A and B are shown apart, each in its own frame.
Chain A
Amino acid sequence: MNRKRFCAAFAVSLCVFLAVTGTFWYLEYRSYQEKQEIICVMLSGEAQGRDNLSTAAALLRHETHESVAGAYDTLARYGFDQSYADEYKRSMYRTWMFTAGVLGGVWMLFLFHMWIVGKQECRKREDEFAEICMIISGMREQAKEKKMLQADRDAPKETARAGFAQKTHDEAWERLFGELSSLEENIALWRRQAMEEKEETKVLVTDISHQLKTPVAALKTSFELCQTPDIGEEARAEFMERCRVQIVRMEELVSALVGISRMETGMIQIRPKEQKIFDTLLLAINRIYPDAAGKDIELGLEAGEELKELTLPHDAKWLSEAFINVLENAVKYSPAHSGITIRMIQMNMFLRIEIEDEGIGIPKEERNRIFRRFYRGASEQVQQTTGSGVGLYIARRIVMEHHGTLTVKDAQKGKCGSRFVFQLPYE
């Protein structure tokens, strides 16, 4: 509470105190006057020889005789007009003092209470200010470390919002306070996400080295066996073949890892551009077309004419990569002479793209895991097919960077097969 408010409260309470005390004093004085009047009427009755009954009647009728004036003089002659002269007057003074004392006490208590409350509020404000200062300095600390990510963009907006508190009462304070602490938490969150990303990159490096170790070891063994002089031609050919398989595997792995590491370390930023999504999808379909044709897999595309012209912000190069990864899997895990259906469906906020195959399908308990890095299905068919286990991981990452989603469901028609669902926002 500020000084001005305290002064106003003081003035108002002083007025109230004076008014209440004044009223009490006046009432008490009136009562004294009435008592005096009674005495005077009694005196004048006595002088006129009236009996007590008629005197009392006169009093009740509030008749003031001229002679009453004389009675005042009589009283004055006996010295009863002085202060403290009669008991009634003394009693009046005592009541006055008592009232003034009690009311004054109450007033003082009130002032004291105001003072205490003011002090407490002051302290609270100070605490709040201190906390706000801490929050802000904390934010500055974080700003010093360069990795603010979105916080850089969003923080000024948030602060502006927080500064909206125009009202100065407690509610607004509380809100400002809440906003600020939310902001602080948001910044902390973004910072933590940045840290986690960094941490993930570290894990990635470990993963990559681990993944490369297996084929290298196998290659080494096969190669050493090849070098043994007393090995038969047949065996040598077999080990040479094994070397070749391992080299192919390494090549696959390396190219996958290059993609993943570019993705992860942010070396390649996704730069969305407003462009036709259909063209991007077509790009991906054309890339896997030879493989599909080789297995006599029919590619069907279901998309309305209007969708061919639909544009949405995306990075054609990366998003087509995501489509390719899913389509490649579809071809890889589908039997020959089957079909793959690609559907484009216009929803309210998202464009939905479904890629459905008639392949081996994915068991329910594995659906969450297939998008993890280096995860490969447990089934025999998957284990026997080559793959690095990063395709779907990269695909989901890319889609997430586009603020979309990628999930897998049961195929719509038939029992086998899986259906990958992309959702990409229009804006």
Chain B
Amino acid sequence: MEEILRTEHLCKYYGSGENEVKAVDDNNITIGQGEFVAIIGKSGSGKSTLLHMLGGLDYPTSGKVYVKGKDIFALKEDALAVFRRRKIGFIFQAYNLVSSLNVWENIVLPVGLDGQKIDEAFVQDIVATLGLKEKLHNLPNTLSGGQQQRVAIARAIASRPDLILADEPTGNLDSRTSDEVVGLLKLSAQKYGQTLVMITHNEDIAQLADRVIQIEDGRVKL
């Protein structure tokens, strides 16, 4: 399988000496294009740190991350930001929507930041798939958790990234809504040929993944 994401001896240490904490320790992961990979592990096992580094949101202590064969930490900061914006979609547990913008504005924000013309037909398609048509003019705080997370998903997909990184996207949702959100993520990843890497502590959700990576104390458990 063609790889889209690869890490090489990826490490992230905090503190030094006796207080050194190895949040991520010597990880070598390869993720193929179009794969749906679930990363599971207990809280504090380093999975969020790992995901942040995979997306270039955090710098490693040592080691490399290659996205489509490109060493992302070799890029200058501005170039990395552009790369992130175009190639990677992020979904967080806390949704991270801009509260003063309505749903539509939130969804097209990253596309607008990139100075691209908004492909309205495409975004409308996403909005329809995610059932947000009636809510486009609402402000985020008038929506339920599940709806807000769907907005966040729409925002992540709108820039047509090749890679979607989701950090506990269902952490704040009830079990049924969780199932729905993951089903939607899977559906859209299939529809748009995207790779999906998702952190979760819910093993029921991991059932839907093509592959499960288990992290324990910063290392991939084999």
A190 to B194, CA, bound (A): 11
- What residues of chain A lie closer than 8 Å to B179, measured between beta carbons? 352, 405, 407, 421, 423
Q: Does A350 contact B (CB under 8 A)?
A: yes
- What residues of chain B lie closer than 8 Å to A178, measured between beta carbons? 86-87
Contact present for A348 and B146 (CB under 8 Å): yes
Contact present for B180 and A423 (CB under 8 Å): yes
A185 to B35, CA, bound (A): 13
Contact present for A349 and B207 (CB under 8 Å): no
In the complex formed, the residue of A with least CB distance to B160 is A182
In the complex formed, the residue of A with least CB distance to B162 is A182
Q: Does B29 contact A (CB under 8 A)?
A: no
Q: Does B115 contact A (CB under 8 A)?
A: yes
- What residues of chain B lie closer than 8 Å to A186, measured between beta carbons? 193
Q: Does B62 contact A (CB under 8 A)?
A: no
Contact present for B207 and A408 (CB under 8 Å): yes
Contact present for A189 and B212 (CB under 8 Å): no
Contact present for B34 and A350 (CB under 8 Å): no
Interface residues of B in 114-162 (CB under 8 A from A): 115-117, 119, 122, 128-131, 146-147, 150, 160, 162
In the complex formed, the residue of B with least CB distance to A179 is B160
Q: Does A368 contact B (CB under 8 A)?
A: yes
Q: Does A192 contact B (CB under 8 A)?
A: yes
Contact present for A427 and B207 (CB under 8 Å): no
Q: Give the residue of B115, B122, B190 whose beta carbon is less than 8 angstroms from that of A171.
A: B115
A185-B2 contact given A171-B115, A175-B116, A408-B207, CB 8 Å threshold = yes
Contact present for B130 and A405 (CB under 8 Å): no
CB distance from B54 to the nearest CB of A (A): 18
A425-B162 contact given A161-B119, A189-B33, A350-B180, CB 8 Å threshold = no
Contact with A along B180-204 (1 / 0, CB 8 A): 1011101100100100000000011
- What residues of chain A lie closer than 8 Å to B115, measured between beta carbons? 171
In the complex formed, the residue of B with least CB distance to A371 is B207
Q: Does B222 contact A (CB under 8 A)?
A: no
How many A-B Cβ pairs are below 8 Å?
82
Contact present for A403 and B34 (CB under 8 Å): no
A288 to B115, CA, bound (A): 58
- What residues of chain A lie closer than 8 Å to B1, measured between beta carbons? 192
CB distance from A225 to the nearest CB of B (A): 45
Contact with A along B1-41 (1 / 0, CB 8 A): 11010000000000000000000000000000110000000
- What residues of chain A lie closer than 8 Å to B130, measured between beta carbons? 349
Q: Does A295 contact B (CB under 8 A)?
A: no
Q: Give the residue of B2, B128, B183, B203 whose beta carbon is less than 8 angstroms from that of A350.
A: B183
Q: Give the residue of B117, B131, B207 whose beta carbon is less than 8 angstroms from that of A407.
A: B207
- What residues of chain A lie closer than 8 Å to B94, measured between beta carbons? none
A348 to B177, CA, bound (A): 9
Contact present for A368 and B207 (CB under 8 Å): yes
Contact with B along A147-162 (1 / 0, CB 8 A): 0000000100000010
A8 to B125, CA, bound (A): 45
A190-B193 contact given A171-B115, A348-B180, A421-B179, CB 8 Å threshold = yes
Q: Does B109 contact A (CB under 8 A)?
A: no
Contact present for A425 and B2 (CB under 8 Å): no
Q: Does A214 contact B (CB under 8 A)?
A: no
Contact with B along A251-264 (1 / 0, CB 8 A): 00000000000000
CB distance from B84 to the nearest CB of A (A): 13
In the complex formed, the residue of B with least CB distance to A412 is B175
A419 to B64, CA, bound (A): 42
A185-B183 contact given A368-B207, A405-B208, CB 8 Å threshold = no
A367 to B206, CA, bound (A): 10
Contact present for B208 and A349 (CB under 8 Å): no
- What residues of chain A lie closer than 8 Å to B180, measured between beta carbons? 347-350, 352, 423
Q: Does B176 contact A (CB under 8 A)?
A: yes
Contact present for B190 and A189 (CB under 8 Å): no
- What residues of chain A lie closer than 8 Å to B86, measured between beta carbons? 175, 178
CB distance from B78 to the nearest CB of A (A): 13
- What residues of chain B lie closer than 8 Å to A348, measured between beta carbons? 131, 146-147, 150, 180
- What residues of chain B lie closer than 8 Å to A407, measured between beta carbons? 179, 204, 207-208
A368 to B187, CA, bound (A): 19
Contact present for B2 and A189 (CB under 8 Å): yes
Contact present for A193 and B176 (CB under 8 Å): no
A317 to B34, CA, bound (A): 30
Contact present for B33 and A185 (CB under 8 Å): yes
Q: Does A416 contact B (CB under 8 A)?
A: no
- What residues of chain B lie closer than 8 Å to A192, measured between beta carbons? 1-2
- What residues of chain A lie closer than 8 Å to B2, measured between beta carbons? 185, 188-189, 192
CB distance from A136 to the nearest CB of B (A): 18
A404-B193 contact given A349-B131, A367-B203, A427-B129, CB 8 Å threshold = no
- What residues of chain B lie closer than 8 Å to A403, measured between beta carbons? 187, 190
Contact present for A347 and B129 (CB under 8 Å): no
A363 to B212, CA, bound (A): 17
A164-B117 contact given A189-B34, A404-B183, A408-B207, CB 8 Å threshold = yes
A347 to B51, CA, bound (A): 30
Contact present for A405 and B183 (CB under 8 Å): yes
Contact present for B34 and A352 (CB under 8 Å): no
Interface residues of A in 356-381 (CB under 8 A from B): 364, 367-368, 371
- What residues of chain B lie closer than 8 Å to A347, measured between beta carbons? 176-177, 180
- What residues of chain A lie closer than 8 Å to B162, measured between beta carbons? 182, 185
Chain A interface residues (CB < 8 Å from chain B):
154, 161, 164, 171, 175, 178, 182, 185-186, 188-190, 192-193, 345, 347-350, 352, 364, 367-368, 371, 403-405, 407-409, 421, 423, 425, 427
In the complex, 11 of the A-B residue pairs with CB atoms within 8 angstroms, ordered by the A residue number, are A161-B119, A175-B86, A185-B68, A189-B33, A348-B131, A349-B183, A367-B207, A405-B182, A407-B179, A408-B204, A427-B129
Q: Which 5 A-B residue pairs are closest in the complex by CB-CB distance?
A: A186-B193, A423-B183, A407-B207, A189-B34, A348-B131
